[in-house]
Amino acid sequence: MPRAWRASRWLGLLVGLALLVGACAPAATPTPEPAAPPPADVLPTSMPEPTAIPVPENANIILATTTSTQDSGLLDVLVPAFQGATLYNVQTVAVGTGQALKMGEEGNADVLLVHAPSSEVTFMENGFGSDRRLVMHNDFILVGPQADPAAIEGPSAVDALKAIEAASATFVTRGDGSGTHKKELDLWKKAGLDPAGQAWYLETGQGMGASLIVASEKGAYILTDRATYLANQDNLQLVILSEGDPTLLNVYHVIIVNPEKGPKVNLAGATAFADFLVSPDGQKLIGDFGVAEFGQPLFVPDAGKAESELGL
């Protein structure tokens, strides 16, 4: 047998054997994908605990203020907001500014919200107040019957009073020593007139809202703050006849009563209320008050302004 043929034969046998072995070998096991790691434990997100409002040691505050802040409805907004934010309880006594200042002098109020700057300055100079801060302003207006029998319509308050006196037209005064009454007396003085005792000069001794009703019933003229008039105008037969006079500005301050003048004075509570009135939250409430109902704010917030900016 030729050598070349034997070599070829052996080569064929080897190739066949290799194929046979490969066919009999078990199939290769595919490499498994690495298993995904188990998810890490996710801790629940904890919500921050709401900050608890500290309970005041003495939670009761007596606020002596004017009838205009009450009758306009402003206190119905400010007091609940303050109480909700601080847990203080406010007892409001709405009287004329003169009476409110008297309560402060006697230590029967903790904090005052008033609008008779010259009387307030005297109150502070006599040591009855420990702090006084500018809060807000609006303005006074002269209102009267639509017919305007004394023909007072115009911007000058002094000229209007002169016309009322000349016509002996009925004029209603609060006569209660309030900030509004003090402003009215100042205007009569500027006009060089003293209406006291005149038959046409009627004194109510009541607050602003009640005095407006009397003026409406009698067809009389009266000086009022704009806020109380607007809040009650639907029930009045009175229209605005004189407004815009710079002398008719009506400025409010908050005064913390000096605790040295009365052992019952709640200094912490009074300070908290004053702080609230001049805070951004308090000032926003004041500036927004009346806009939705009357299309204009009934008070202008003034915290942080210089007194000179208001002509004081």
User: Which of residues 41 and 204 earns the better pLDDT score?
Assistant: 204
Q: What is the pLDDT of residue 24?
A: 43
**Upper half-sphere CA count for residue 230 (Cβ side, 13 Å):** 22
| Amino acid identity at 249 | L
Confidence label for 232 from pLDDT (cuts 50, 70 and 90) = very high
151-182 confidence digits (pLDDT tens): 999 999 999 999 999 999 999 999 999 999 99
92-113 confidence digits (pLDDT tens): 999 999 999 999 999 999 999 9
Domains of the chain and any CATH numbers: 60-138+251-304 (3.40.190.10), 139-248 (3.40.190.10)
Token readout for 209 is: 């809202």
Of 293, 141, 278, 131, the closest CA to residue 212 belongs to: 141
Q: How far apart are CA 273 and CA 110, in angstroms?
A: 10
Strand 129-144 with 221-225, pairing: antiparallel
Answering whether pTM is above 0.75, one says: yes
**Integer angstrom CA distances of residue 311 from 35, 45, 136, 299:** 81, 56, 13, 17
Of 291, 309, 301, 285, the closest CA to residue 76 belongs to: 285
